[in-house]
Amino acid sequence: MEKKFEKIWENCLSVVKDNVSAQSFKTWFEPIKVVKLQNNILTIQVPSQFFYEWLEEHYITLLKKTIKKELGTEGRLEYSIVMENSFNNSKPYTIKIPTTNKKALVNPAVSMPMDIGNNGIRNPFIIPGLKKVNVESQLNPNYSFDNFVEGDCNRLARSAGFAVANKPGGTAFNPLLIYGGVGFGKTHLAQAIGIQIKNHFPNKTVLYVSAERFMHQYVDSVKDNKQNDFIYFYQMIDVLIIDDVQYFAGKEKTQDIFFHIFNHLHQTGKQIVLTSDKPPVEMQGMEPRLLSRFKWGLSADLQAPDLETRIAILEKKVYADGIEMPKEVIEYLAYSITTNVRELEGALISLLAQSSLNKKAITLELAKSMIDKFVKNTAREVSIDFIQKVVCDYFDLPIELMKSKTRKREVVQARQIAMYFSKSMTKSSLANIGLHCGGKDHATVLHACRTVNNLMDTDKRFRAYVDELEKKINVI
């Protein structure tokens, strides 16, 4: 007796199976759990509100027929919605909804006449009429974690990405929103997550798509009256990576459709990874309900690459390409180009091209002339980092000491000199200089500048040091 409702549901399923495509069956019927049978009401458990609505919209006639066949004309169906994968504040909930003949779907924009289900789904990436959904991930294998250099500028975002990649949908970082300026590595990191997931979980369907492409696909689907295919396709993805979501700004319809896809994926424990050129609070033209969802998981920023990371990135690329390049050239590039990684790579490529086209060895001179000619627009002013390096090299001090709070005499003097040059040769504020030199305040920097000026006036040997240093710094 106890098992009877399970048997009944099994019978229903076997009828359903004969009437829908294998993919639809897998997506919409396999996840259903049968809960109980009471007073001729069979209760089934579904993983989300959306799931229930989808069944009601698309399969209700079929379900009704099979239920009545098993339970007689009094037979009814009831849903229990259990969201098994919820994060943050959204606690799992169970509600009962008796089956109705209701027509409306969650969103009028997607309430279209049903034309898939039995026919397989159109994959907007390939061609219509596709039977089995075999989603190409659209990932670039070069953008792996192995190729992503870790540094202070990206540590949080990288480790969050790594956590997500090892447990997609199973961390609190859902969605994971990676934001940062142009060329800071957002696309690379987002793709690295996808690649890692593909490697560790080959059965998971991973999809990388730019927000722009997503929008065009959506617009096409509207034109062809195929929104259902579109939404259905995206709801089957296990790991959805959308690049540059700021592109959705002001595109209401696309935001709407994405909102529903987002909800469905999130509720069913699928992983969502987003990138953006700004944090959620600064995104204009985005629906509040969508923005609030962006904040559900973790927003992690990528900073402009710091000097160490720039050097490491160049070294890695040079090594990977099997190129011999003097260390001083690498450092010169890293010191000269501070804006972003893409420009850094651009400079490296120009340099390599210069060298091979003109059959010249890669030397510091070549690098300098190349930087002058080809990278006019990049910030090339002397940086505090560079000044510190030159001063530390000169006095043979580890750079960490200069950046530390130590008050040892020889360190204090070198630090004061670095502050003095930072003030006279960069546009940095006193406060910023202080921050870079042992976390001092602006008054300390001002004091350092006066001290150095006084010493130069009174101490000839000191003056010689400073002059020599100035020449070294000006080499850049």
Q: Contact residues for ligand ADP (CB under 6 A)? A: 147-149, 154, 180, 182-188, 313, 341-342, 345
Given the complex with Mg ion, which of 187 and 309 has the nearer CB atom? Answer: 187
> Measured from the CB of residue 87, what is the shortest distance to Mg ion in angstroms?
26
CA dihedral 27, 30, 32, 33 (to 10 degrees): -160
Query: What distances in angstroms separate CA 115 from CA 121, 127, 232, one per listed residue?
Result: 9, 16, 11
438: left (phi over 0), alpha (psi -120 to 50) or beta: left
Would you give the DSSP letter of residue 176? E
Q: Residues in the site for Mg ion, rule: CB under 5 A? A: 186-187
Report the amino acid identity of residue 129: G
> Per residue, what are the HEC states of 419-442?
HHHHHHHCCCCHHHHHHHCCCCCH
CA distance 347 to 313: 13
Q: Which residue is nearest to Mg ion (CB)?
A: 187
389 binds, among Mg ion, ligand ADP, none (CB under 5 to 8 A by kind): none
CB 344, min distance to ligand ADP, A: 7
State which residue, 165 or 341, has the beta carbon closest to ligand ADP.
341
3-state secondary structure of 79: strand
Shortest approach of ligand ADP to residue 317 CB, angstroms? 7
Rank residues 246 and 426 by Cβ distance to ligand ADP and give the closer one: 246
Nearer to Mg ion, 245 or 437 (CB): 245
Residue 22 Cβ vs Mg ion, minimum distance, rounded to whole Å:
37
* Neighbouring C-beta atoms of residue 150, cutoff 10 Å: 13
**Which one, 184 or 420, has the nearer CB to ligand ADP?**
184
Considering the complex, what minimum distance in angstroms separates the CB of residue 186 from ligand ADP?
Answer: 3
* 229 vs 243, beta carbon nearer ligand ADP: 243
Q: State which H helix or E strand residue 407 sits in.
A: none
Closest CA to 209 of 233, 183, 228, 180: 233
> Strand order in 41-46's β-sheet?
33-38, 41-46, 76-81, 96-98
Residue 336 Cβ vs ligand ADP, minimum distance, rounded to whole Å: 17
Q: CB neighbours (10 Å) of residue 143?
A: 20
57, 181, 348 from 189: Cα distances, Å: 39, 13, 21
Residue 415: closest CA among 447, 432, 392 = 392
- State the minimum distance, in angstroms, from the CB of residue 346 to ligand ADP: 9
Q: In the bound complex, which residue of the shown chain has the CB atom lying closest to ligand ADP?
A: 185
What type of residue sits at position 410? E
388's contact among Mg ion, ligand ADP, none, with CB below 5 to 8 A by partner kind, is none
Q: In terms of CB distance, is 337 or 437 closer to ligand ADP?
A: 337
Residue 161 touches which member of Mg ion, ligand ADP, none, C-beta under 5-8 Å by kind: none
Q: How far is the CB of 256 from Mg ion (least distance, A)?
A: 24
Strands 41-46 and 76-81: parallel
Q: Which is nearer to ligand ADP, 306 or 470 (CB)?
A: 306
